[in-house]
Structure 1
Amino acid sequence: MPAFEGKDGMPFWQDLTTTNLLKSTNFYRELFGWEIVDGIARKEGLPVAGLVSAQADGWVTSFLGDADVDKYGGKVLSADETITLCEDPSGGLFGLKDPEERFVAAGEPGVPVWYELVTTDQATIDFYGDLFDWEIREEDGYFLAFEDGAPFLGMYVGAGAAWVSYFGVEDLAAACKTVEELGGTVEVGPGEGPFGFMAGITDPNGAQCFLVEVETPEFEDINEADSVL
């Protein structure tokens, strides 16, 4: 699985906070084919996500780089050597990470294919645009952030305040069946959505995300030592 180099302000990582680490580990290992060791999930050897024991269940999206969160109306809640946990003006959680290795897998089965913010007001959308210096374009009330002319996440005003991860799966029908067999719930779909054939799910502990059917890319023979950039 080739990796792509992330840039400052780009979504880079996702942590699952879970009240039952063992149950979550089994669920996502079976659903996405992740290898999960010591709370780090990998797909074909590449780190994809973290799983952390906590008092609440949910996904937290982290962005690359450092940023002056307080300056633009957000709050820094905690910081350690791996992540700075922050809160946006609407109360949504997000993280900042500045690792030495900035390579990330994306757009394939078992890894993120899209990120989306639902927030209570447009001021929070403006907060992220200012914080990360994003180019933002609005299309019928949906706000897209662009990098080099390509959108990499979406935002809209709705109920609640949270970042949502969309993960690729090769066979959506089979994935939804696996979700239910493992104690999760298919809340939305499966059906056609703005990003293709997709479904919204809740894992056995209550954390929510979306699944999107994507094709497994085929690559010409590549020497593992060669850069994919």
Structure 2
Amino acid sequence: MAEDGPIRGLRRIELRATDPASAAEHYRQLFGWIVMTAEDGTLRCWVGDRLAVLVRPPTSWETTGWHAVFGGRPSALLTDPAGISATLDPGRVRHGPFAPPPRHGEPCWIELMTATATDDYWNRELGWATRAAGQARDIKPFALHTVASDEDTPGERAIAGRLLIDAATAAGVGTTWMTYFAVSDIEAATDAAVLAGGTVLIEPREVETGLLAAIADPFGTVSTLLQDPIGWGGAWAS
């Protein structure tokens, strides 16, 4: 682990899209984002005063879809042994267990979906630990990555999930950092996703994290919606 201490959350989520304007418009309709074009041509998507997502085209060597950008460290690109990557950014953390509770349209959780457990890599690089979720004793197939709390709050907090998936799921959804977004009404949000040209992959259902649904946008990028999370990670926040 670097001497700078553990990573405590996201600076932002990036959406790498072949048609950034259309992708941003889809999510503006879904989440009500304020979309602004920056000087470098990227689209900055805001919820109030917090940057939620940056939308841009991928470079020649990048894949499309969501990409996690963690805050609080010098810039670097990390890639685990399974080929899943994340970026470090020196800016402050905007989303995570130590940030304000997520509002409608903001990232509210991330989950590493992978066919190969790479816990040791992320724990070493980001200063995290891994433990079983809830009352479970086994970290397979699902586990929580945790980060130590600050001096005023002893213990640890859940910062990300890790889900081992089979080859068929990996082929269909991909191995990636699955991005969760907070919504105030999940039924209304899934309806809005369809009206905006998307597809509902998993109808609203109650799971350990909370009431969630999975959607794909018109370009095939998959995300998860979580209704009224009490904090980062929904039920894991407690």
TM over 0.5: yes
**2:189 matches 1:175:** yes
- Amino acid across the alignment from 1:156: L
User: Which piece of structure 1 moves more, 150-159 or 169-178?
Assistant: 150-159
Match of 1:116 in 2: 111
Within-5 A mapping of 1:1-229: 8-12=6-10, 13-38=12-37, 39-54=43-58, 56-66=63-73, 84-99=76-91, 101-104=92-95, 106-122=101-117, 124-139=118-133, 140=138, 141=140, 142-147=142-147, 148=149, 149-159=156-166, 160=170, 161-214=175-228
- Confirm or deny: 8 A CA contact 1:106 1:112 kept in the other structure: no
| Displacement of 1:194 | 2.2
- Amino acid across the alignment from 2:53: A
1:130–1:110: structure 2 CA closer, same or farther, 3 Å change rule?
same
TM-score, length of structure 2 as denominator length: 0.74
The superposition leaves residues 169-214 of structure 1 with CA deviations (integer Å, 9 ceiling, x where unpaired) of: 0010010011001111111122112211111111111111100110
- Confirm or deny: 8 A CA contact 2:33 2:105 kept in the other structure: yes
- Amino acid across the alignment from 1:165: T
Q: Percent identity of the aligned residues?
A: 26
CA distance in 1, matches of 2:229, 2:128: 29
- Amino acid across the alignment from 1:146: T
The superposition leaves residues 20-71 of structure 1 with CA deviations (integer Å, 9 ceiling, x where unpaired) of: 112111111111111011111110122111001237531001112447xxxx
- The runs of 5 or more residues in structure 1 that have no matched partner are 1-6, 68-82, 218-229
- Amino acid across the alignment from 1:203: D
TM-score, length of structure 1 as denominator length: 0.77
Match of 1:76 in 2: none
Match of 2:40 in 1: none
1:175–1:119: structure 2 CA closer, same or farther, 3 Å change rule?
same
- Amino acid across the alignment from 1:129: N
SS in 2 for 1:61: strand
| Displacement of 1:106 | 4.6
- Confirm or deny: 8 A CA contact 2:214 2:224 kept in the other structure: yes
CA distance in 2, matches of 1:192, 1:103: 27
- Confirm or deny: 8 A CA contact 2:9 2:94 kept in the other structure: no
- Amino acid across the alignment from 2:114: T
Match of 2:234 in 1: none
The superposition leaves residues 88-135 of structure 1 with CA deviations (integer Å, 9 ceiling, x where unpaired) of: 110112111112x4444552221111110012222x111101111212
CA distance in 2, matches of 1:215, 1:94: 24
Please report the RMSD computed on the Cα atoms of aligned residues, expressed in angstroms.
2.2
CA distance in 1, matches of 2:94, 2:18: 29
CA distance in 2, matches of 1:16, 1:189: 23
